[in-house]
Each structure stands twice: as C-alpha cells, then as structure tokens.
C-alpha cells in the first residue's frame, strides 16, 4: 500500500534555481493538496486540485505553480527559488473535499 | 484567512498522565479532524468528527465535536512514550472549502 509518495525527500537549491516536487497517489482520490510547514506554524495550503485538469489557489500560492494532468500525479513547481521558500512540503490526497486527507512523508527543501 | 486557535502550544507530561488539548474557531465548522505527526513524517489521521456533540474514541484517544460547532477537544489517557509528537486539529467550513489546520500542540512524555 503505497498511499501518497513524495520525491525527493530532501533538496538544497540555490536562490533563483527551479525545481519540481513530485507527488503521486494510488488511492484513486480526486482531491490532492500541497501544504508547506514552517516551524511552529502548522500547515498552510499552497494549491489544491479537485480533479484532473482542475487546480485552485490556497492560502499561500505565490512563487509556486501546479498542474494536474492525471488523477494520480500533482507536481508542485518552484520557478525562482527564494530563501522564504525554505520549508517542509507535504502533499496530501482525499476521497472528497474536507474529509480525512492522507499525507506523504514530506520534502524538506532548503534554499540558500 | 480562516484561523484555528489550538492550545496548548506544547506540553511536558509524565508517562501515565492524561492529556487534554483543544481547538477553537471563530466560525462554525461542520468537520473536525485530529492528526498526529511524528518527527520526519507526514501527519496521520487519528480521529474524524462530523456531527456536533459527537464523541469518538480510538484506543486511548477520545475526541469531541463541540456543541457550538466552534471547538473540538482531544484527550489522551494514560500517556506512553510513543505518544510524543505534534498533534494538529483541522476543520472544514460548510461549502466547497479545503481543511484549515491549527498550529499544533507539541507533546513530550517524560518516562
């Protein structure tokens, strides 16, 4: 049972570099989410998707982009990395909106 | 944006003690969820609540959906060392809105 799989687990980026955080789920969930977790700040929603081809902004979308070409995958892209994007990123999925979400193990990103 | 107030921020307790934590919202929620996050891991769902007044248990954990629909409580009985971690509440407003998370309660258990 893979659940939600995130890659990579760790990454160090230089300011201005770009990268894509990968997220895949095998539970056939329509809803997928990207959160960032800063120390002592809980989880903040970056983007979410209610199904393939549909995405929407969350609380903190600036500096990020997403796409949802398939039900299984929901990659998060950082185009011009900034130190403020240093954080732990979690992908999650759920069967429907607002019910229990299943989380991946996270990607720890450091921008220097 | 919408906010949840979760308290306490952190707790240090002796093994065997009971633990209580809560979340409050300024708006009415129709779903409350409680998650636990172990170090280096993603949050894992503990208990889901969908009706005002609902009281649900999961082993030594008990959570309640407040009657006012603006709060929720999580209790852990007879704490053990593996209860260490960060506990998050999350809530959902009515309509097509994503979950909102509290800032977490960091629990430390002293053996």
List, in order, residues 6 or more apart from A62 with CB less than 8 Å away.
none
**Touching check for A41 and chain B: CB below 8 Å?**
yes
* Count of CB pairs separated by less than 8 Å, A with B: 53
Query: Is B43 within 8 Å of A103 when comparing Cβ atoms?
Result: yes
Q: Where does the pLDDT of residue A39 fall: very low under 50, low under 70, confident under 90, or very high at 90 and above?
A: confident
pLDDT exceeds cutoff 60 at B38: yes
pLDDT value of position A56: 94
Distance between CA atoms of residues B33 and B15, nearest Å: 25
Q: Where does the pLDDT of residue B2 fall: very low under 50, low under 70, confident under 90, or very high at 90 and above?
A: low
pLDDT value of position A100: 72
Token pair for A42: 């809980």
Instruction: Indicate the SS3 state at residue B82.
Output: helix
Distance between CA atoms of residues B108 and B111, nearest Å: 10
Mean pLDDT in residue range A26-48: 91
C-alpha distances out from residue B88 to A19, A50, A88, B17, B23, Å? 29, 23, 16, 20, 9
More confident residue, B17 or A96: B17
Query: Is B42 within 8 Å of A106 when comparing Cβ atoms?
Result: yes
Task: Provide, as residue numbers in chain A, all residues whose Cβ is less than 8 Å from the Cβ of B9.
Answer: 40
pLDDT exceeds cutoff 80 at A104: yes
Q: What is the overall mean pLDDT for chain A?
A: 93
pLDDT value of position A28: 93
User: Cβ of B100: how many Cβ atoms within 10 Å?
Assistant: 24
Mean pLDDT in residue range B4-22: 96
Q: Which of A41, A45, A100 sits opposite B98 (nearest CB)?
A: A45
C-alpha distances out from residue B30 to A5, B35, B49, B83, Å? 29, 17, 9, 27
Query: Is A92 within 8 Å of B42 when comparing Cβ atoms?
Result: yes
pLDDT value of position A48: 93
User: A35 to chain B, minimum CA–CA distance in Å?
Assistant: 10
- Helix spans in A1-112 (H): none
């Amino acid at each position: 049972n893979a659940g939600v799989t995130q890659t990579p687990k760790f990454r160090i980026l230089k300011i201005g570099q770009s990268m894509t955080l990968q997220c895949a789920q095998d539970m056939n969930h329509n809803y997928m989410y990207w959160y960032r977790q800063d120390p002592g700040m809980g989880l903040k929603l970056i983007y979410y998707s209610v199904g393939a081809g549909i995405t929407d902004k969350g609380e903190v979308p600036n500096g990020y982009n997403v796409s949802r070409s398939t039900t299984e995958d929901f990659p998060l892209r950082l185009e011009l990395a900034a130190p403020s994007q240093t954080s732990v990123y979690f992908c999650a999925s759920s069967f429907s909106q607002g019910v229990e979400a299943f989380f991946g193990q996270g990607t720890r990103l450091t921008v220097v | 944006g919408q906010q949840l107030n979760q308290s306490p921020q952190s707790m240090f307790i002796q093994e065997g003690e009971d633990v209580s934590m809560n979340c409050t919202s300024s708006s009415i929620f129709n779903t409350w969820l409680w998650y636990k996050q172990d170090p280096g891991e993603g949050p894992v769902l503990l208990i889901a609540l969908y009706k005002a007044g609902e009281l649900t248990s999961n082993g030594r954990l008990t959570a309640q959906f407040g009657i006012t629909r603006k709060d929720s409580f999580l209790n852990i009985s007879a704490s053990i060392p593996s209860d260490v971690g960060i506990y998050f509440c999350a809530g959902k407003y009515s309509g097509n809105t994503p979950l909102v998370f509290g800032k977490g309660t960091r629990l430390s258990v002293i053996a």
